[in-house]
Structures are given as C-alpha cells and as structure tokens.
Structure 1
C-alpha cells in the first residue's frame, strides 16, 4: 500500500513531451499526489503531445525550446509556488535532465545527489579512469582522436568506442580495422540534428572515448540508495546483445539471471556497493551495467536513473507490485517504513533472490523504411503481461546511429519454472512482433 498524500505533488521533467510521463503520473495518482509536468517543446512529428500532457497533468508548463534549462526549472518552480502548489520533489528518467532534477531537489530541500556528482557520473572518460585507479575496473579509457584511433588499430587488440557523455547506446560500437575517422565525424554530425538525443551529449556536443573491450556476459544491477545504504532490487541478465557498426542493440533480458549463481551474485552486490562507496553516491536510483568474466565483475557504465525499456516494469513483476519508478519516488518522499520495505524487496548480501518471481522481456528494433504493418503474434507459449507497440503502419524509419524502438513485450512466470519456460519463450519471442515494410515483401524484427 502506498501512503496517501494530500495537497502536494511532484514535478516531472519531460523531454520533448515523453520520458515515462504516463507511468510516473500513474504512480503519483496511486499516492494521492498531484502531477506537475515541465516539458521541453515536442518534435514536429508529435504536434498533439502537449494536449495529451495537459489532460494527464494537474499543471503543465511548456518550455519554448527542445531542451530544458536551469532557467526553465527555476521559472516553473516559481510559477507553482505562486499558484499555491506544494512541490514535494522532482523526478526525471531522461538522463540528459538528471542534473536538472538534482538542481530542483536541492532547491526544494530534498535529499538527492548533487548536480556536480551527476555531471561527474556522465563523464564516462574521467569516471572510467578514476575507477581504474581505485582497482574497481580492469579497463582504462582514452579520448578518441585520429591518432588514438590509428594507435588502437595498429595494436590489433579488441577495443570499444562510445560517447564520453551518451545515452541509449548512441554511437557505441566495437572498434574494427574498417572503422575510420570519417565514420566518427558522420555520427557526430548526425547527432547535432537529433532533436531527441542532442541534449544528452553535454555542452560540447558528441565526443568519444576508446577503451579496452570487456568480454563476458552482460548484466544490469537495479539499485536504490538511501542515506548511504545500497539495495539491489533486481539483477537482469542481457540474454541477447547485438553489436552493429554504429550502436549496440540490447534485445532481451531475464531476471533473476541464469548465467550466474548465488555466489557470483553476492560478489556482484559487494562490488556494486564498493563502487557506489568509492564514488560517494549516497542517494538515488541507479542502473549499473556490468560484465562478468573469469570470476570477476567489471563496469560498463553507471546510469543515475532507472533503466530504460521495460526494466521498471520487470522489477514490478519481480517484487510483486513495486516498480523501480515506485521505489525511486518513495526514496525521495521517505514514507514511514520505506527503508524496511525496500530491504525486504531486495537481494540479500549472499545473493539470494527476494521473491519466487521471474521475468523475461524482449525489445524489438526497426529497420530503415516505411512501415506497412505491425502486429503481435498470437502463437506464443505464454501471453505477455506488458505489450508496448511504439511504431505503426505509415511511420518511416530513417537510418541512424542509435536504436529505433519498434516495440517491447514482457513475460512473468514462477522462478521455479524458468528452466522449462525460458528457452522456449526466448526462441518463440524472437518473432513475437511481425513487421512488414512497404519496400519489402516481408520484414522482420531486429
């Protein structure tokens, strides 16, 4: 049960009209809280989005540009105060605005990370080398330049390229002998015209780092930290990861993970807590991506927010009702008994799972072309508990250095039946969304 509040609300920062606003508003309604939305200007492709938000929110403030600023946040908070509204906290799932959330919460006197801490986490080059010096990663990183690109290619090792400040695997890819500086310039130029993602690359625009390639299975730790105590609420294993020339597509995840046992999970939880302590991260919600190889955990990146796609929904199924968005909101509000409830929903230090639930979800990506039709297959071994179709017939998909989401499906089942259900579900779900393109006789999800 959520504690019911009266007379107050939470400010949601929305990027171009989206950023999980519907899910957040639902969570606020369940608590008897008002929904205040500050949104940047939507893209031309969504002319009615602000009207949708007006119907959804108790109060909407629409900024004039595609990217929110400190001034927008200050003006919105002042406007709400003048209206007599009580703003209890600020939340955003858009990583490009996470520092603005910290700024708003500091203004409101809410416990959260500091704005400088957030910006420090988003500098993946400095962060990687700081953690290397602390012995928490085996990998060092360097700025990607024409010279460092040529050096790595001559060395003939395995390396990975990604933005210094990035999001959603945009421009992240393994370095190959065929990679040229022209490729880097092309992705950089493309990013400048990307209304949705340009704000996530920092004030200097898209710059890149190159680091040693991390082998092993890929996982993500979903973590909520309150007053210096870290709770691992969920641990997802990425069952399928596709690396392309311009991005990395994370196709499917399951939780609890099947590729590591309790001892390995316990080691991972200890490693996560050490990493958070080293970085002095005492508050917040984190999506920590990692790889496991040769009995050792190593970092991909630390995201100071909930995971994207269906991570929050998956956590809700795993915990029996509390999504990551729910837990993040409650960590800001601090209702009575929250710390005890959070601990009961989280992994124990020895790697034991808190419930008998398991999940599997698959994300589908679109290819370049005009879509003729999209439908969900009815021939699946288990019906999904969440179905999101994000594109429709008539939509046109352009080639880009970031993934273009087509849809996503989530399944839930008893953990004791995972050995029987998961292999068949993983196989059958690969074609769960059928997509056809006008330029193709028959298409298929990627």
Structure 2
C-alpha cells in the first residue's frame, strides 16, 4: 500500500476540502490535512475529516503559521508517510503552500512571489510603470482620501492585501475616514478573515477602472501560459463596504475573438514581467472596449463555482484536478509533466483567442442579508440547475459584515450554440431561484 500523498492546508476545517479529498482518492493518493482550529459552530468538523483522510493534524488557533507547516511535514515523515506536494485554495495560506512545496522540491511560485502578488499597491504601480496598467495607486490616508475627493476624479478603495472583496468599494463624496477605521476594526474581529490581512488592514486608493469585469482561469507550467477559461461577470454590485459578484457566464458573451486574443497576450506580458512560471491563477480584469486593465491576480483557484464551470466546459477536469496534476507530475517526471501540459494546452484558448469548448455555463451566487433565516427553499424556474449548493438553512443567523456572506450558488450548463438565448433567460429568472425569508419583516427578501 502506498505511503505517498498530498498535504492539504485547510482554513478552519474547510477550503474546498471535500473536492480535494475526492480528487486524491481518485488518484489513489494518501490524504493528509493540516487544519487550523474550526470555529465554535463546527465542533464536529475535525472528527468528520478524520473519517475521510489518512492523517489530520490541527492547531489550537484559527490561522496556520509557517512553523505549523514545517512541523506537519516532519510529523508526517516520522509517521512513515511521503508528502509529494502541498496545495491550498485559501489565499491566506498560499504563501504557506509555496513554502511547503519549496521544502519538498516541488516547482511552484516562491513565497516572495505570493507576497508580491498580494501587495496590490506595489503591484499596481509596478504594472503602471511597465505600461501594462493605466491606473495608479497610493496608500490611503486621511490626507489622500481628502485630496482624491477634492480633485473630482473616480477612484476605488480596497485593502492593500485583501480577500473576498472585503472592504473594497468605490470612493464617494460622502466617504469619511471613520468608515475606513470601522472596516479595519471589523476585520480585526473577523475570526475567519483577520489572518489574511497581515499584521493590520491597510488600504490603497487607485484610479477607477471602467468597463465590464472578466476573469481568466490560468494554469502556468514552466513558463507556458494556459488560459483554460474566461468568465464574464454578468452582474457586479458595488455596495458601501464591498463588491458583490452576482453572476458569471463562460465563455464570455460580450467579447469577440480578437478581444480575447488581446487579453491573453496582455496576461502573458504581465506574467513574464512578474516571472510567474508555475501555478494556478484566477486573474480578474476589466475591458473598456479598447484595452484591458488589471483588478488583481489571485494565485489560486477561483472561488464559487469557477472550478466546476471549467469542468463543465472541458467535460473532464476541474481547476483543482488540473492544478493537482501539474504539482504531482512536476516532481522530476518530465514524461508525465509533458503529457499533463499537452492535455491542458489542448483544452485552453488559442493565442488567437479561440476557445475549444462546445458547452457554456452560467452561475449565480446568492448573498444573505443580516438577520435570522426563517425559511429557505429552491424555486422551480423551468430550467433546473445542473449544480445546486445551498450553504445556509432555516434557523441560521447572518451577521452584519463588510464582506459578502454566501447564501448559496447555482449553475446551469447548456450547449454553446444556445448561449445567447439561455443567458438572456437565466439572467432574469435565476434571480428568483432561491427564496429566503427572515424573521424580521424589515429584512425579509426574496433572491
């Protein structure tokens, strides 16, 4: 029986673990989990994981550290296991994943690369200097806040090192420094997200990017860039303290092949400048009809149903599968890595912007309002979803926060030739696909 397996870094007992455990089981691999302490509302999470994995290590705190990772590698080795590589979809642990792979001799980004990508202030200005972005950014202070409001331009505020659109919003004439301090104070009290902001939550203010939003799903293999999917964000809602990405479709409905080709070339130039040669990336961008500009580069799998959408389009592998295969094949087996690279290349966009899929996807993410949930149910809209994930239930309490609180997510898959017709129908009908009602009648809503 094999002793070889993969180390999964889990934040508070979750982070796509079930998907990763299934992928490793299909590959005949041992499954090792290192998790930070789950939240009090999930007291059974670690015992549940112990029934699914070959080894579960945990810490007494809610965020993993570098020493936790190095200690786990030693502990697993002492138990007779061989750790082939490490993977995590929690962005706050991406540096820890890179550290583990560095110690294991697995090709990956370095921790320095991850820190470079997560510092959105330095990254923006580096790309501006290289003429790969038309926007500039500066640290947000009471002084810069006042200056930007006085000059009358359009600007956007977000954390220098952020996650989940937490504290990201367009500058308004009414925005006050006290609101920024309140968001930072809330982040310090947010058990799930606080560790992802570093020692303290700092903000930047940058030129506002006009245009539609898209995301590029990318696998990089020894410098070879593969855009395996492009998603269009059909609905984006900018609220006071966050940005909600409500609905996505892929392939993008409002981009022609030449715009896709220009985007792929632009992404390649950024990756070359930043020396991003290995890994999985969820790159968010805007296109204003003439040029592309960057929102952010996330060195991980995209959230929500992005990975599932990729699998539906190529009808074989989701993003986690592809990333795992690259990590496992890159351990000194050039023939295996070459086979993985050829497959990923075959399902990716061409340099001329042509996609290979015959399937299209549409998914909507539903967000909850603060309050106690009284009832929650799916509503038949005539087009049953292919995938339905409802994350909350009647009796749950939704706290007020400066980040999105997920209620559920639904995805529809249909032939590419039906894209225009189905998208128009689903954009309207999917709004009512989940019905939720709250105890307080003032916050009662139907989504």
**TM-score, normalization: structure 1?**
0.97
Contact 2:3–2:80 (8 Å) recurs in 1: no
Higher mean C-alpha displacement, 289-298 vs 215-224: 289-298
Structure 2 residue aligned with 1:283, among 264, 278, 283?
278
Matched, 1:245 2:216: no
Q: How far has the Cα of 1:125 moved from its partner? A: 0.2
Question: 2:170 and 2:123 mapped to 1: Cα distance?
Answer: 20
Structure 1 residue aligned with 2:124, among 119, 125, 128?
128
Contact 2:8–2:34 (8 Å) recurs in 1: yes
- Look up the SS of the partner of 2:281 in the other structure: strand
Matched, 1:30 2:32: no
- Look up the SS of the partner of 1:254 in the other structure: strand
Contact 1:431–1:444 (8 Å) recurs in 2: no
- Map 1:142-291 → 2, pairs under 5 A: 142-203=138-199, 205-291=200-286
Residue 313 (structure 1) aligns with? 308
Task: Please list the CA deviations of residues 5-28 of structure 1 after superposition, one character each: whole Å capped at 9, or x if unmatched.
Answer: 943110000001110000111111
Gap runs ≥5 in structure 2: 330-335
- Map 1:74-89 → 2, pairs under 5 A: 74-89=70-85
Structure 1 residue aligned with 2:352, among 350, 358, 361?
350
- Look up the SS of the partner of 2:445 in the other structure: coil
Residue 443 (structure 1) aligns with? 444
Contact 2:369–2:443 (8 Å) recurs in 1: no
Residue 401 (structure 1) aligns with? 402
Residue 94 (structure 2) aligns with? 98
Residue 60 (structure 1) aligns with? 56
Higher mean C-alpha displacement, 432-441 vs 55-64: 432-441
Q: How far has the Cα of 1:107 moved from its partner? A: 0.6
Question: 2:388 and 2:2 mapped to 1: Cα distance?
Answer: 33
Residue 116 (structure 1) aligns with? 112
Structure 2 residue aligned with 1:140, among 133, 136, 140?
136
Q: How far has the Cα of 1:373 moved from its partner? A: 1.1
Question: 1:52 and 1:117 mapped to 2: Cα distance?
Answer: 34
Task: Please list the CA deviations of residues 131-169 of structure 1 after superposition, one character each: whole Å capped at 9, or x if unmatched.
Answer: 000110000100000000000000111100000000010
Question: 1:275 and 1:116 mapped to 2: Cα distance?
Answer: 17
Aligned residues: 440
Residue 384 (structure 2) aligns with? 383
Q: How far has the Cα of 1:268 moved from its partner? A: 0.5
**TM-score, normalization: structure 2?**
0.97
- Look up the SS of the partner of 1:215 in the other structure: coil
Task: Please list the CA deviations of residues 29-59 of structure 1 after superposition, one character each: whole Å capped at 9, or x if unmatched.
Answer: 1111111000000111111111121112111
- Look up the SS of the partner of 1:57 in the other structure: coil
